[in-house]
């Protein structure tokens, strides 16, 4: 049943691929028909269907710019291949732990040499449970038979007289095999049992003592952080980091390339700088959120199909929180990267710019991964969860640790939105001044001061 | 009454460099106006100023008497010197997109794109990426992008640079047609012979200042008389240098171009030429635009 879902997901992807291919083929045929002299009206329709720029008139210039960004990005091979790779990684991250947990090793064959001993059998079973190793207790008539069975592999462990354990291969101290795990628990337990017998306890008394279990420890705070949630939290932070880095780079490169190719001059002759920048940010943001939703939806579908623990506990809430903070993180940083892109017009200049811009992201990312793994945020981390540059990483971790109330979450969102507004205003100003300046990279000193004379002229240039 | 672009008192400085210095001229509709000047004269800055792409220290650009703004720019078409196209975008999409940005409806943009690509003989490349096109075809796409929204004013920075004769003919024909249809057309170019063929009027600037403006005919017929003389076997025109009031403007492929002062009798020149050898050509010539340009900027 669970694999039915996987088959459905793969089938849907194939259908989508075939649909896109057929549509392209139709469009090419339509384009060929244009050149063969097909009447004008069908040509218009074909051209309209081809380009995708025929809808969304109500969106205005910002919508048109955004639409172009979406279409061009989604058509790009890098985007499609990148999305498939991310989906494969996410699928593997869900499937591999599940497959690992489902893999059942055969029970350890433990032989008791001599007459059956209920207390001994109970200790063996208890040790198996403690070492998370399935066990099966058998009896062997004598030591020779037991050793023979050990050598042939029919037995894993033999207990002689209740005071000696025989195994076929020596057990290394750091071994993690099932036999080693069992023996590491069984040996001291047998020692205790042997001591009870030496002390002259009766069999019922020994059984009674053997059943002794540690008393429960109760804490005042409920421990809600389970391993699964911790894993989801780490995966979420990694995804936010990867996607923020990718989309910010798109913005940086996109703005730089528009400037370098001088297409920005043609565009700014028709639209305002804020419209052009806003459309670019919106378009890439839509692609980002579409890709993120696809990944999260895929993660949910695969989790449900294989019965992963991802959907249990706070996992879904955490994933939704990750989506929210991916959006807020993108909204904050995209303006900064756009402004930086407008000051450069060469690849090497972009690389020089990208490093300092990525420092706060890197710091927040590493710190958040550390905290998500340890589950122990300090005061500094909690403060970072409210600062717009670091909140996209820190706040989802606190959500995963169940250490924030809803109103704290909302306060952090409000601060992030306010920070984004300030950043957008600041970045648009830089973009307006820098994007038409050609030649050397524009320095911050060049951008100081108000634009001279006669707005709405957008920027200064060089001859 | 035709439409009119007016540039009045434009001034733009970059530190100590004066890019535009009280520059004023007009571009009337119905004709192609050539915008000339040596490198660094301020042509590109002027063209950018028309679209508000550069800040001005002083001056104003008017369209039909009104200072230009966003509404006017939507009705202008611009082709920058360093071509402005998305290299990885399909040609048809690109032209259509720019039409939409200038306010065209989806269907109008699609049909206008088709029309201009056909007219510029690149319809078969509509589904190609711009970067896959030759320089000449990219230039045609750029022109289609400037024309797609049927602008009232066309401002083209070096539209003929790097084109083969076929491309020059195709683009030149389109520009003249646009002007005849009532559009204001302003083009910059260093190919002065082509400008002379295409333009009815020229504006020559240098160091950001207006040097000369007027119709090509007036400028060509103005000034000293010019003679083209070919003397068989002569490559130096030394014989002409000896005549008072005559200067040798150029000697090329056996043709000597002479500039005559007002009081020089052309018969004197003819006799001197005949004395130097057999005269195979002796014709009066208008000033060429290149000569007007050189004189203006020297």
Lowest mean pLDDT among B140-144, B152-156, B196-200: B196-200
pLDDT top residue among B261 and B113: B113
- CA distances (Å), A344 to each of A266, A313, B164, B245, in order? 18, 47, 34, 58
pLDDT at A54: 46
Token match 């528009």: residue?
A258
Q: Check CB contact under 8 Å for A47 and B110.
A: yes
pLDDT at A463: 34
List CB contacts (< 8 A) between A264 and chain B.
Answer: 84
Interface of B with A in 42-61 (CB under 8 A): 42, 44-45, 48, 51-58
pLDDT at A16: 58
Q: Which DSSP symbol is given to A188?
A: H
pLDDT at A346: 80
Across the interface, of A34, A451, A458, the residue whose CB is closest to B123 is: A34
pLDDT at A309: 64
Q: Check CB contact under 8 Å for A53 and B109.
A: yes
Q: Which H or E element spans position B33? A: strand B32-36
pTM recorded for the entire structure: 0.71
Q: Which pLDDT tens digit goes with each residue over A337-382?
A: 998 888 887 877 887 888 888 899 999 999 998 888 887 888 899 9
- The β-bridge partners of B203 are B35, B213
Q: Which H or E element spans position B226? A: strand B225-231
Q: Which H or E element spans position A281? A: helix A273-306
Q: Which pLDDT tens digit goes with each residue over A38-85?
A: 443 334 334 444 444 444 445 688 999 999 999 988 888 888 888 888
Q: How far apart are CA B27 and CA B44, in angstroms?
A: 16
pLDDT at A440: 59
Q: Phi, psi at residue B207, to the nearest 5°? A: 50, 35
pLDDT above 90 covers a percentage of chain B that reads: 37
B281: confidence class by pLDDT, cuts 50, 70, 90:
very high
Alpha-carbon dihedral sign for residues B70, B72, B76, B81 = negative
**How many CB pairs (< 8 A) connect A and B?**
149
pLDDT at A461: 40
Q: How far apart are CA A44 and CA A338, in angstroms?
A: 35
Q: Check CB contact under 8 Å for B84 and A40.
A: no
Mean pLDDT in residue range B266-288: 89
> With an 8 Å Cβ cutoff, is B70 touching chain A?
yes
B189: confidence class by pLDDT, cuts 50, 70, 90:
confident
DSSP string, B58-75: EEEEEETTEE--HHHHTT
Is A378 in a helix, a strand, or coil?
Answer: coil
pLDDT above 70 covers a percentage of chain B that reads: 99
Q: Which H or E element spans position B206? A: strand B201-206
Across the interface, of B73, B85, B110, the residue whose CB is closest to A54 is: B110
SS3 helix, strand, coil % of chain A, rounded to 5? 70, 5, 25
Q: How far apart are CA A227 and CA A315, in angstroms?
A: 11
Rounded to a whole number of angstroms, the CA Rg of chain A reads 32
- The β-bridge partners of B40 are none
Question: Over chain A (463 residues), what is each successive 10-residue block's mean pLDDT?
Answer: 52 56 51 42 41 53 91 86 86 78 75 80 84 85 88 88 84 79 86 82 76 71 56 80 88 88 87 90 90 86 76 70 90 91 82 85 91 84 92 89 86 95 91 76 60 37 37
Mean pLDDT of chain A: 77
Mean pLDDT in residue range B13-31: 88
Give Cα A414 to chain centroid, integer Å. 25
The set of residues, in sequence order, having a beta carbon less than 8 Å from that of A198 and lying 6+ positions away, is: none
Reported ipTM: the value is 0.80
Q: What are A290's two structure tokens? A: 């579409």
Q: How far apart are CA B292 and CA B36, in angstroms?
A: 11
Q: Which of B297, B93, B83 is nearest to B192 (CA)?
A: B297
pLDDT at B111: 92
Q: Check CB contact under 8 Å for B53 and A35.
A: no
pLDDT at A226: 53
Q: Specify whether the CB–CB gap between B32 and B215 falls below 8 A.
A: no
Q: Which H or E element spans position B249? A: strand B246-252
Q: In what order do the strands lie in the sheet with B4-14?
A: B17-28, B4-14, B58-63, B66-67
């Amino acid at each position: 049943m669970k694999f039915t879902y996987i088959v459905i997901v793969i089938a849907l992807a194939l259908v989508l691929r075939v649909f896109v291919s057929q549509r392209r083929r139709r469009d090419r045929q339509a384009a060929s028909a244009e050149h063969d002299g097909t009447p004008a009206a069908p040509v218009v329709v074909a051209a309209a269907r081809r380009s995708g720029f025929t809808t969304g008139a109500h969106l205005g210039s910002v919508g048109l710019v955004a639409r172009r960004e979406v279409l061009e990005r989604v058509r790009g091979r890098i985007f499609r291949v990148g999305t498939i790779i991310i989906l494969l990684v996410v699928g593997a991250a869900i499937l591999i732990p599940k497959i690992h947990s489902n893999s059942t090793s055969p029970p350890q064959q433990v032989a008791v040499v001599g007459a059956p001993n209920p207390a001994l059998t109970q200790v063996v079973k208890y040790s198996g449970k403690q070492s998370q190793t399935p066990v099966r207790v058998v009896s062997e008539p004598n030591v020779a038979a037991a050793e023979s069975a050990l050598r042939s592999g029919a037995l894993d462990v033999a207990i002689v007289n209740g005071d000696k354990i025989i195994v076929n291969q020596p057990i290394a101290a750091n071994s993690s095999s099932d036999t080693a795990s069992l023996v590491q628990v069984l040996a001291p337990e047998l020692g205790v049992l042997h001591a009870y017998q030496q002390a002259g306890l009766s069999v019922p008394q020994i059984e009674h003592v053997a059943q002794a279990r540690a008393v429960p420890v109760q804490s005042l705070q409920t421990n809600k952080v389970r391993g699964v949630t911790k894993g989801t939290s780490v995966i979420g932070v990694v995804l936010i980091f990867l996607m923020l880095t990718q989309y910010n780079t798109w913005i940086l490169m996109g703005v730089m390339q528009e400037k370098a190719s001088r297409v920005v001059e043609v565009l700014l002759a028709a639209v305002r700088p804020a419209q052009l920048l806003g459309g670019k940010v919106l378009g890439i943001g839509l692609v980002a959120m579409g890709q993120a939703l696809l990944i999260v939806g895929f993660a949910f579908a695969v989790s449900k199909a294989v019965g992963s623990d991802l959907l249990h506990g706070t996992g879904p809430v955490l994933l939704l929180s990750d989506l929210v903070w991916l959006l807020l993180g993108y909204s904050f940083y995209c303006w900064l990267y756009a402004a930086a892109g407008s000051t450069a017009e060469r690849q090497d200049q972009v690389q020089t710019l990208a490093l300092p811009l990525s420092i706060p992201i890197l710091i927040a990312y590493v710190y958040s991964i550390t905290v998500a793994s340890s589950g122990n945020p300090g005061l500094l981390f909690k403060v970072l969860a409210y600062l717009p540059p670091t909140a996209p990483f820190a706040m989802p971790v606190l959500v995963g640790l169940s250490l924030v109330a809803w109103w704290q979450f909302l306060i952090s969102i409000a601060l992030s939105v306010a920070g984004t507004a300030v950043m957008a205003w600041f970045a648009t100003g830089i973009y307006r001044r820098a994007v038409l300046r050609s030649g050397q990279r524009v320095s911050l000193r060049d951008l100081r001061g108000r634009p001279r004379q006669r707005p709405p002229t957008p920027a200064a240039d060089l001859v | 009454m035709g439409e009119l672009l007016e540039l009045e008192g434009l001034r733009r400085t970059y530190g100590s460099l004066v890019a535009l210095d009280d520059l004023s001229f007009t571009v009337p509709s119905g004709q192609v106006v050539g915008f000339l000047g040596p490198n660094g004269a301020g042509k590109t800055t002027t063209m950018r100023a028309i679209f508000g792409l550069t800040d001005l220290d002083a001056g104003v650009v008017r369209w039909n008497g009104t200072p230009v703004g966003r509404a006017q720019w939507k009705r202008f078409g611009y082709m920058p010197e360093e071509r402005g196209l998305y290299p990885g975008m399909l040609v048809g999409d690109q032209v259509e997109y720019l039409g939409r940005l200038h306010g065209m409806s989806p269907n109008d943009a699609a049909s206008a794109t088709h029309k201009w690509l056909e007219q510029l003989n690149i319809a078969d490349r509509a589904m190609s990426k711009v970067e896959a096109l030759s320089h000449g075809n990219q230039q045609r796409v750029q022109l289609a992008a400037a024309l797609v929204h049927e602008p009232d004013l066309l401002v083209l920075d070096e539209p003929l640079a790097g084109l083969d004769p076929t491309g020059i003919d195709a683009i030149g024909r389109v520009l003249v047609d646009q002007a005849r249809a009532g559009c204001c057309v302003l083009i910059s170019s260093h190919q002065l012979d082509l400008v002379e063929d295409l333009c009815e009027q020229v504006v020559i600037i240098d160091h950001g200042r207006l040097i000369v403006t007027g119709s090509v005919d007036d400028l060509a017929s103005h000034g000293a008389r010019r003679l083209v003389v070919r003397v068989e076997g002569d490559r130096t025109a030394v014989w002409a240098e000896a005549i008072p009031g005559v200067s040798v403007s150029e000697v090329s492929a056996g043709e000597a171009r002479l500039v005559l002062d007002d009081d020089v009798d052309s018969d004197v020149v003819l006799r001197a030429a005949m004395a130097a050898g057999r005269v195979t050509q002796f014709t009066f010539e208008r000033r060429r635009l290149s000569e007007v340009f050189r004189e203006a900027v020297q």
